[in-house]
Amino acid sequence: MGAVNNSETFSAVSLSGGKDSSCLLLLMIEKGLPIDSVLYANTGMEFPQMEAHIAKLDDFLYQERGIHITTLQHPHGFEWMMFEEPKQKPSCLERRARLGIPPYGNGWPGIKVRWCTGQLKTHLINKTVNHLKKEKDALHFIGIAADEAHRCKADTHNRYPLVEWGITEAQALQVCYDRGYDWGGLYEIYHRASCWCCPFQRIDELRKLRRHHPELWAQLLDMDNRARAMFGPGPLGQFKKNWSVARLEERFAREDAADTA
């Protein structure tokens, strides 16, 4: 078992499951840096390969440090928030009644209201980290790569080791590959290994989702049909600007037909 934390400082590591935070965790273990808690927010909409990756990291963390990843999860999850969460603000209820929109559900996340990231990831992590900072004066270790250093936030409790070590995103991915962590090939297909249902994906990423994960594509098509039937053509029922998943399905099918003609 690797080095453990013998200092009085409590160390909490944020783990998204992607290449940068995974690299951070692996190198912190290798370098014998203190780790008291590893926090992972599970949206419930992760690729199966990502779930397997987290399980593999958890096994290694327990083997080396004797602790498990702490998984944080919304009590109801993505689809409940999308279709069922009851609205409570009078102004919201009045507006929805006027527009003929049901008084529940958030619909698809939008650029201005990214409730998915906010409620299913950031809020859960920040709430736990802020508690640890207050109760244990914890240091928070965050996996931001050197070429994304502009994302770092000034906070005496935050640490960005990959930036300090000069490790770029490409190098972080290679560190993981070199140690046998390959996400079942996700990064060989997709630019990002985030939630498979994300409406902010590039269209080419969605094309790949349809090709490589047809079962998830079918689920996405069903979700979008439900959203449009429930919320109509406005922002809540709109998957992407000018594109429903059904229209993307038609487009991709035409492209497939043209390729085989």
Q: For each of the chain's 261 residues, which pLDDT tens digit applies?
A: 333 444 578 999 999 999 999 999 999 999 999 999 999 999 999 999 999 999 999 999 999 999 999 999 999 999 999 999 999 999 999 999 999 999 999 999 998 889 999 999 999 999 999 999 999 999 999 999 999 999 999 889 999 999 999 999 999 999 999 999 999 999 999 999 999 999 999 999 999 999 999 999 999 999 999 999 999 988 999 999 999 999 999 999 999 999 887
Q: Quick check: helix, strand or coil at residue 236?
A: helix
Would you say 245 and 224 are in contact if contact means Cβ atoms under 8 Å apart? Answer: yes
pLDDT at residue 2, as a whole number: 38
Can you give the pTM of this predicted structure? 0.92
- Contact call for residues 199 and 223 (beta carbons, < 8 A): no
How far is the CA of 47 from the CAs of 105, 166, 180, in angstroms?
Answer: 24, 29, 18
pLDDT at 60: 98
Of residues 1, 39, 30, the one with CA closest to residue 141: 39
Torsions phi, psi of 13, nearest 5? Answer: -110, 130
* Amino acid found at 43: T
pLDDT at residue 7 in the model = 52
- Cα gap 91→96, rounded to integer Å: 9
